[in-house]
Amino acid sequence: MAGEVKTFFLSSEVVPFAKTGGLADVAGALPGALRALGVDVRVALPLYRSARSGNFPLERVIERIEVPLGKWILPSSVWATETKEGVKVYLVEREDMFDRPNLYGNPMGDYYDNLERFSFFCHAALRTLEALGWRPDVIHCNDWQTGLVPALISGPYRHSPLLSGIPSVFTIHNLGYQGIFPAEKLPLTGLDYGEFFHPEGVEFWGNLSLLKAGIVYSKAITTVSPTYAKEIQTPEFGLGMEGILHHRREVLRGILNGVDYTLWNPATDPHLAENYYPGKMGGKKRCKEALIQEMGLEGRLLQRPLLGMTTRLAAQKGLDLVTEAMEEILALDVGMVILGTGEDYYQKALQRAALENPGKVAVRIGFDEPLAHKIMAGVDIFLIPSRYEPCGLTQMYAFKYGTVPLVRATGGLEDTVRPFDPTTGQGNGFKFGPHTREAFLQCIKEAVRVYEKPDLWRLLVLNGMKEDFSWERSAKEYIDLYMSVMGR
């Protein structure tokens, strides 16, 4: 049945061509999983500098297409390549828009012309289909950068012989990014004021929101975990969109993201001091030794709990709890390793903690993929105290690596982590509810108590390693959704 489904998958970033966050990981992995199940899936993204300079064989498949941007018509070319799974990828070329050092902005803020850039990309993606003469059964859009597409199919492209009536699925990866722009820019999108600019359309508190365009005009909406799908319908997590999301709740579904186990698997991970798996766990201890040595921590921490984080250093990720409770956490005779970059306040606070606690706290500011893998394998407890977390991938990586996640009960963390019960031996991690220092600290104390009972800890570790969050499970749910919007 899946072999009959043709899907056009649009994303502003896709691993390995361009990445700033988890969206790229999803857009890189899900199409491959869909293809493995028989879906004819093709992907489109802009031809950024990172893709242009990457080691990918690119072939120009469309010499020139005419792309509207307001009252202007701008030419574009389209290049193609394939992923290692054999998924066809189209890259939309327009040097003045996409050949830049970063995808969305610089340290000063977002690029001033992001509306123009991603409106252009949305039109170019649809014009690419027309030029190729390929009609997909479903167009799968991701986040605000592609949110214009469902509205375009409802409006300017409704009479296109090829595109008319194609249903769209819109996935919200993080509701915090809403693609909000001044109302006077609406003509640049190609949408008509009278038809589209109103509270039931793309208007959002007097501005224009491309995220809302995706929510309102798509046939189905997904987000990246079942709990997050419920949370975003509430004032606490809805960020002003809760009304429209609640209104469309009948077509809103939470589908948990998956994990690419070809990249995250301690049995094969090339970054580790020694590989390991449930039947050969000696490598886990060797990885802890190597991490302690590399990060300059005290050797005696080999016998004590080592806590770790690899994260964006921001309040949303719970860094306020970590910095506020640092002294009390260290009083439990534990070590801590943190890798990340983000808000200046948290960077400085963590660096200060490392200076004041040499041998106990190690902090590395920046992005370091090999070190992220070494931390995942080398620590005992992985902290994710997020205020909100649409899905979260690191807790899923942690399970595989025999590292126990300690998380706030929100979003995908709530859906994947089950509190460990020492009396029954059931559960795979630790979880706290209120976003307070006291609740966080109490949870860490509970984890340390279990760590001090080696037989219980071993059972908990193996419970986590048995979990399977492969993309195949998620891909089957998306195929089911595609079938439903196609009316099958």
Pair 85, 117: CB distance under 8 Å: no
Per-residue tokens: 27:
């857009």
Helices of type H across 158-301: 186-189, 193-196, 210-217, 226-231, 235-238, 242-247, 282-294
Please indicate whether the domains covering 2-258+472-485 and 282-468 agree at the CATH topology level: yes
Per-residue tokens: 142:
């991701």
Single out the residue of 171, 157, 158, 155 nearest to residue 219, CA to CA. Answer: 171
pLDDT in tens, 151-201: 999 999 999 999 999 999 999 999 999 999 999 999 999 999 999 999 999
Mapping DSSP onto H, E and C, the string for 147-197 reads CHHHHHHHCCCCCCCCCCCCCEEEEECCCCCCCEECHHHHHHHCCCHHHHC
Give 64: exposed, middle or buried? Use CB within 10 Å, 0-12, 13-18, 19+. exposed
Per-residue tokens: 89:
């990828």
Bond before 16 cis per omega within 30 degrees: yes
Single out the residue of 263, 350, 280, 327 nearest to residue 84, CA to CA. Answer: 263
Looking at residue 311, its pLDDT comes to 93
pLDDT in tens, 319-354: 999 999 999 999 999 999 999 988 999 999 999 999
Looking at residue 2, its pLDDT comes to 62
Looking at residue 22, its pLDDT comes to 84
Which segments in the chain show pLDDT lower than 50? 1
Which residue type occupies 285? K
Looking at residue 330, its pLDDT comes to 98
Q: N- to C-terminal Cα distance for the chain?
A: 10
- CATH 3.40.50.2000 applies to domain 2-258+472-485: yes
Q: DSSP code of 411?
A: H
Per-residue tokens: 432:
């706290």
Pair 184, 132: CB distance under 8 Å: no
* Architecture per CATH, 282-468: 3-Layer(aba) Sandwich (3.40)
- Give the count of beta carbons closer than 10 Å to the beta carbon of residue 473: 13
Looking at residue 488, its pLDDT comes to 78
Pair 372, 341: CB distance under 8 Å: no
Bridge partners, 335 (sequence order): 306
The structural domains of the chain, with segments of one domain joined by +, span 2-258+472-485, 282-468
Contacts (Cβ under 8 Å, ≥6 apart) of 51 = 17, 18, 45, 91
Looking at residue 3, its pLDDT comes to 63
- Give the count of beta carbons closer than 10 Å to the beta carbon of residue 161: 7
Contacts (Cβ under 8 Å, ≥6 apart) of 106 = none
Q: Measure Cα distances from 343 to 177, 317, 389, 440, 467 in Å.
A: 17, 11, 18, 21, 33
Angstrom distance (rounded) from CA 416 to CA 212? 28
For the chain, the C-alpha Rg in angstroms (whole number) is 23
